Amino acid sequence: MTFKRSNIEQQIQHIPKEVKWCKKCVVSNQRPRINFDEEGVCSGCRNTEYKNNDVDWLAREKELAELLDQHRRTDGHWDVIVPSSGGKDSGYVAHQLRYKYGMNPLTVTWSPLQYTNIGFQNFEACIDSGLTNILATPNGRFQRKLARLCFEELGDAFHVFVLGQISYPFQMAKRLGINLVFYGENGEAEYAGDPNYADKPYKPSEEWVGQHFKGVTFRELLDYGLKHKDYLSEDDFTESDLIFYEPPSADELTGAGILGKHFYSYYHKWSPQENYYYCAENTGFKPNPERTEGTYSKYSSLDDKMDGFHYYLRYIKFGLGRCLEEAAHEVRDGHITREEGVALMQRYEGEFPQKYFEDFLKYLDISEEHFWDVVNSWRAPHLWEKINGEWLFKYPIK
């Protein structure tokens, strides 16, 4: 093994060495920022109980109407930004804001690393259903090197996409003078991460701008790459290529009246499956013509060929693959039983995303051998063991 990774990825250093499964859903304690209480139930499940029992959704809807009344513009200008891929979640939010609440949304899309056919089809269909959109695609040659850097040093090539996805909408909000930015779900609350802000309508700019995803800022990451990677040099970019990878400062945002990330899931009980139905009926959304690798569903996160590797590496790093993520949410929602979730995971969890493997290697400009070297460097030793030359995950779900 010729590849040795650095330790700039912080998440992986804080996960418990003993694997425990939630008693109610199918997530494990390996998920960064998750909490298990004394009954062995995870924070995701508790958040769902809260959603089901303790929230007055009618009151929340009223709050939404009031918020939107305050922001709605009648002077021919957009009044809300919806970061949108054209998928079922963002499509739902954008369509509702426009057609149910009479807002003037501008959907903004941070391009996937590599569009899939179905992803682009859904993206166009969403626009076709009656929404305005701006699609941003960063400097491709530079981004591919960043992706390789992220793959090697953060164990997630997709991270480079995420950087843009969280920053770009706010750069646009500031530049276009739109001070309301509406996301779909509060990802941390919905997917058993940090439960803070689960009961808040938005995450304040001061809070999230400073957050270092995976424990390292974009600049730190870039510096590391410039210092240690022979494929990345200062000739590969100019400062203007970096604009969308970082959000405006907290001061700039609050100065522009942009409070933070608003969550639609605060105002409407969030159900990814119902979002699917909504978009199938209203935005021309079509599911994948075949099952998405690594899971059982056909309607989640379809637009990026590189997506599968984000989940696959997560499985290597934390034992948390794509199937687990979806099954856990559906179990919490009561759409499937835990028994079913377990059966699904036994069938699909950790499935290698073969379909776009060649594309992935080409995108990062690496060999298959290097791919596996990097992957193996990310295998958490307490989760994996090698038996008869094969890597086995030590904790298949029960």
CA distance 390 to 169: 43
Residue 356 DSSP one-character state = G
344 binds another protein, rule: CB under 8 A: yes
Name the one range near another protein by CB under 8 A: 43-51, 205-213, 277-285, 357-365.
277-285
Tell the smallest beta-carbon distance from residue 299 to another protein (Å). 6
Task: State the nearest-atom distance from the C-beta of 340 to another protein, in Å.
Answer: 6
200 is a site residue for another protein (CB under 8 A): no
Question: Does position 269 bind another protein by CB under 8 A?
Answer: yes
The helix (H) or strand (E) run that includes residue 369 is helix 368-377
Beta partners for residue 108, in sequence order: 83, 134
CB of 275 to another protein, least distance (A): 10
Q: Are 294 and 312 in contact (CB under 8 A)?
A: yes
Binding mask 298-337 for another protein (x = CB under 8 A): xx---------------------------------xxxxx
Binding mask 49-68 for another protein (x = CB under 8 A): --------------------
Q: For residue 49, what are the contacts with CB-CB under 8 A and spacing of at least 6?
A: none
Total of residues contacting another protein (CB under 8 A): 28
Q: Which is nearer to another protein, 236 or 340 (CB)?
A: 340
Other C-beta atoms within 10 Å of 177: how many? 11
Burial of residue 127 (number of CB atoms within 10 Å: 0-12, 13-18, 19+): buried
For 365, phi then psi, to 5°, come to 60, 50
Token pair of 275, please? 């979002």
Nearer to another protein, 205 or 271 (CB): 271
Interacting span for another protein (CB under 8 A) from 136-144, 153-161, 255-263, 296-304: 296-304
**According to CB under 8 A, which residues from 69 to 128 bind another protein?**
117
Among 199, 206, 252, 274, indicate the residue that binds another protein (CB under 8 A): 274
Of 229 and 298, CB closest to another protein? 298
Options 144-152, 197-205, 281-289, 363-371: segment touching another protein (CB under 8 A): 281-289
Q: Which is nearer to another protein, 152 or 351 (CB)?
A: 351
Distance separating alpha carbons of residues 32 and 309, to the nearest angstrom: 18
The burial class, CB within 10 Å (0-12 / 13-18 / 19+), for 235 is exposed
Residue span binding another protein (CB under 8 A) among the ranges 25-33, 139-147, 282-290, 360-368:
282-290
- Decide: 329 and 89 in contact? Cβ < 8 Å: no
Nearer to another protein, 243 or 343 (CB): 343
CA-based end-to-end distance of the chain: 33
Which among 84, 55, 68 is positioned nearest to 266, based on CA atoms? 55
* Region binding another protein by CB under 8 A among candidate stretches 211-219, 228-236, 308-316, 342-350: 342-350
Distances (CA, A) of 1 to 210, 240, 287, 373, 376: 36, 37, 40, 6, 9
| Contact residues for another protein, defined by CB under 8 A | 117, 269, 271, 273-274, 276-277, 280-282, 286-287, 289-291, 296-299, 333-337, 340, 343-344, 347
